[in-house]
Amino acid sequence: MSQEIDVSLVHVTKRFGDLTAVDDVSFDIPKGSFFSVLGPSGSGKTTILRMIAGFETPTSGDIYIGGERVNDVPPNKRRCNMVFQRLALFPMMNVLENVTFGLRRRGGMSKAEMEKLAEDALARVGLQGLGKRKINQISGGQQQRVALARSLVLDPTVLLLDEPLGSLDLKLRQAMKLELKHLQARMGTTFVYITHDQTIALAMSDTIAVINKGKIEQIAPPEVLYRRPATHFVASFVGENNKLLAGRVTRQVDDQVCEVDFGGIPMVGRMGDPLKPGDTVDLFIRPEMILLRPGKHQDGILGKITEINFDGSHSLIAVALTESSRPLAINVKLQHTEQAPDVAVGDIVTLSWRWDAANAFHPVDQSHIEKEA
């Protein structure tokens, strides 16, 4: 059985004069899913959201919501609503009045009917009984939920969220990202979330589209995106990574794995691009997936600890690779568990990792390739 689709973009391009903000983008968003568009500032993600909402019109291509082509449908006629980063709640109104604002503008309902729908929407976001509170009498997280209820009361097919957690402090943002995911799963409304914050996207999304310079780099579930990036940009942008530049592929182990030489040190990694012996590559290695063992061992890479930075649940350990013919260092994220080795600056250690903890790609900027003898 085919999956029902709530939003489709088909070869959508948006130009502002000579600037191409969105370049031939296509994707489908399944009904009831949490879909995030992740990218740096200026990547085109907000332009995509504004085109879905109807605030911008595609230069070419088509947008469908609930199976209906909406290119020429005005924003107030589309089956979607938007929650902005600045929540735009009205401080002179109480919670219930804020939630009924859109219903009052739409018209055609009695006050009792509107208030009943608003109370139901508040209950869906866990704010039942708070309708009479003023906006300044509730917390930042509760204000976030009021903004959600104000959009949900209009019964949208799709809820668009433009980094609504961006203005919250770190602790509240961490709590709200889980709460928002739980709300979405409970309500079953399709969420389209725009963000530059990968921790939020990875924690909340069913699917993430990574965009860069107006083009989609990869669309995948969070774990696939993190473990098997499809491009050099995704490997560099998503999560923490050691980025080792300009190695040389010495051999292809199989159809997934290659061996790369860095200053005389062989390292293994997954081939993110099609590679062959002699190719120059950058290697991305997740610091939390590196095994660090004190002392010298035959089955690994030798190094010397140059720095240890404590960071709560883990320490970030900088290791200089002592057998490399050129300066080379790797960071290791060491979790503070009972099994964690006791190490200090100056210690000799051995590093190793599974082949799929590292990803090899052709360099995107050939100017950084070092000419080795």
Query: Do 312 and 306 contact (CB within 8 A), yes or no?
Result: no
Among 106, 148, 115, 142, CA closest to 127: 142
Q: Give pLDDT, residue 339.
A: 80
The DSSP code for 77 is: G
* CATH class of segment(s) 240-368: mainly beta
Q: Give pLDDT, residue 18.
A: 95
Assign 3-state DSSP to the chain and report helix, strand, coil percentages, each to 5: 25, 35, 35
Q: Which position has the token pair 């209906």?
A: 68
Give dist(CA 372, CA 235) in Å, integer.
Answer: 25
For the chain, list residues with pLDDT below 50: 1, 366-373
Query: Do 349 and 303 contact (CB within 8 A), yes or no?
Result: yes
Give dist(CA 246, CA 243) in Å, integer.
Answer: 10
| Fold annotation for 5-232 | Rossmann fold (3.40.50)
DSSP collapsed to 3 states, 218-286: EEECHHHHHHCCCCHHHHHHCCCCEEEEEEEEEEECCCCEEEEEECCEEEEEEECCCCCCCCEEEEEEC
Per domain, the residue ranges of the chain are 5-232, 240-368
Residues 6 or more apart in contact with residue 26 via CB below 8 angstroms: 9, 10, 11, 12, 61, 216
Give dist(CA 90, CA 338) in Å, integer.
Answer: 51
Query: Do 366 and 248 contact (CB within 8 A), yes or no?
Result: no
Q: Give pLDDT, residue 106.
A: 81
Sort strands 34-38 and 207-212 into parallel, antiparallel or unpaired.
parallel
Check if 5-232 and 240-368 are the same fold.
no
Q: Give pLDDT, residue 365.
A: 61
| Structure token digits, residue 224 | 């696939």
Give dist(CA 201, CA 228) in Å, integer.
Answer: 16
Residues 199-229 pLDDT 10s: 889 989 999 999 999 999 999 999 999 999 9
Among 271, 245, 258, CA closest to 329: 245
Sign of CA dihedral 95, 81, 148, 215: negative
Residues 6 or more apart in contact with residue 63 via CB below 8 angstroms: 7, 8, 9, 10, 12, 51, 52, 69, 70, 71
